[in-house]
């Protein structure tokens, strides 16, 4: 087990280092320099370069880049908010994004679970078809299309919720964004729960439990669902990706002051330092979750760690 965890962790660290390397190479070889003011003399530029360590060999520069990045020092923003450290930009925005993402996961998983269980229990009925159609639609419709529809219908026409996020009303104004983000989670979880539960329900031990007189809620919750939900961690990876990409557009649509919006602004304003910093943050979160999933998987399913960590798709 220790060897398995060590191996997964090593791959995660390698991946993270590769990302930092890519980001560094991009920053180093992008055209232009911070000191392209024509009034500066050659000597002044040389002094400035020495001051900021740009005269060092590339390897030393890379090392300091790695050190700074991992200690949370991402430099300052060029364009969005000039000379504001990116870490302070992030510290205000990360909690908002995390909260909305968390709400979306919670809502989506709950709804998805309920839908999936209904579909499996009422297999091959109208309910099943309804749930299946809903989950196919949920997986196929881009979250921003859904977000736009919600914003138009409930925000603009019915005026139930504010169209734009307001910091004064953190929950009420984030309802639409949460629902929009949760669609994908809901659909994937519903689909998955249905499949797994159908398989479990036809197994021998459920028949045995039934023959002992266990039925209804107790059978589903205590016996069937417990085993059906073990493999649910496999959908975590696509869910995280869905939430990340979703957050970019949903935050733009509802103008939520979160990390996704910052990245979109950074991309549109060509603010390279913001984009690289956020790329790192996103990758860090993603890789950490992937590592967690791999380890959890190894803990739960011994076949995987015995297969030396080769996770089959």
Residues interacting with other proteins, by CB under 8 A?
Answer: 11-12, 14-16, 18-19, 22-23, 26, 30, 136-137, 139-142, 144-145, 148-149, 151-152, 156, 163, 195, 198-199, 241, 244-245, 248-249, 252-253, 263-264, 267-268, 270, 272, 275, 279, 282-283, 286-287, 290, 310, 312-313
Main-chain dihedrals φ then ψ at residue 146, nearest 5 degrees: -65, -45
| CB nearer other proteins, residue 110 or residue 231 | 231
The 3-class SS string of the chain reads CHHHHHHHHHHHHHHHHHHHHHHHHHHHHCCCCCCCCCCCCHHHHHHHHHHCCCCCCHHHHHHHHHHHHHCCCCCECCCCCCCCEHHHHHHHHHHHHHHHHHHHHHHHHHHHHHHHHHHHHCCCCHHHHHHHHHHHHHHHCCHHHHHHHHHHHHHHHCCCCCCCCCCCCCCHHHHHHHHHHHHHHHHHHHHHHHHHHHHHHCCHHHHHHHHCCCCHHHHHHHHHHHHHCHHHHHHHHHHHHHHHHHHHHHHHHCCCCCHHHHHHHHHHCCCHHHHHHHHHHHHHHHHHHHHHHHHHHHHHCHHHHHCCCCCCC
| CB nearer other proteins, residue 46 or residue 154 | 154
Residue 311 has which token pair? Answer: 């996770």
| CB nearer other proteins, residue 50 or residue 288 | 288
Q: Which residue has the tokens 């990302």?
A: 19
| CB nearer other proteins, residue 42 or residue 126 | 126
CB of 195 to other proteins, least distance (A): 6
CA angle 263, 264, 267 (to 5 degrees): 85
CB of 245 to other proteins, least distance (A): 5
CB of 179 to other proteins, least distance (A): 17
CB of 283 to other proteins, least distance (A): 6
| CB nearer other proteins, residue 12 or residue 100 | 12
| CB nearer other proteins, residue 80 or residue 141 | 141
Contacts of 230 (CB under 8 A, 6+ apart): 300, 301
| CB nearer other proteins, residue 110 or residue 287 | 287
| CB nearer other proteins, residue 236 or residue 267 | 267
């Amino acid at each position: 087990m220790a060897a398995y965890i060590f191996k997964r962790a090593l791959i995660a660290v390698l991946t993270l280092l590769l990302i930092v390397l890519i980001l560094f190479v991009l920053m180093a070889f992008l055209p232009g320099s911070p000191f392209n003011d024509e009034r500066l003399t050659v000597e002044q530029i040389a002094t400035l370069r020495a001051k900021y360590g740009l005269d060092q060999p590339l390897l030393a520069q890379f090392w300091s880049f790695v050190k700074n990045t991992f200690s949370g020092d991402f430099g300052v923003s060029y364009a969005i908010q000039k000379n504001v450290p990116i870490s302070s930009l992030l510290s205000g925005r990360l909690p908002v994004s995390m909260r909305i993402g968390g709400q979306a996961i919670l809502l989506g998983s709950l709804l998805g679970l309920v839908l999936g269980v209904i579909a499996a229990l009422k297999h091959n009925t109208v309910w099943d078809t309804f749930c299946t159609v809903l989950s196919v639609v949920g997986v196929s419709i881009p979250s921003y299309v859904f977000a736009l529809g919600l914003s138009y219908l409930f925000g603009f026409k019915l005026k139930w919720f504010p169209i734009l996020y307001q910091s004064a009303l953190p929950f009420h104004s984030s309802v639409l964004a949460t629902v929009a983000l949760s669609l994908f989670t809901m659909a994937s979880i519903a689909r998955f729960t249905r499949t797994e539960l159908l398989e479990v329900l036809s197994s021998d031990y459920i028949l045995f439990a039934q023959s002992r007189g266990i039925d209804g809620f107790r059978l589903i919750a205590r016996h069937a669902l417990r085993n059906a939900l073990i493999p649910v961690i496999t959908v975590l990876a696509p869910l995280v990706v869905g939430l990340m990409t979703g957050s970019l557009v949903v935050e733009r649509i509802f103008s939520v002051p979160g990390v996704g919006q910052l990245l979109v602004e950074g991309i549109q304003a060509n603010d390279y330092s913001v984009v690289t910093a956020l790329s790192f943050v996103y990758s860090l979160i993603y890789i950490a979750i992937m590592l967690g999933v791999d380890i959890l998987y190894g803990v739960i399913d011994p076949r995987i760690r015995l297969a030396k960590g080769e996770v089959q798709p």
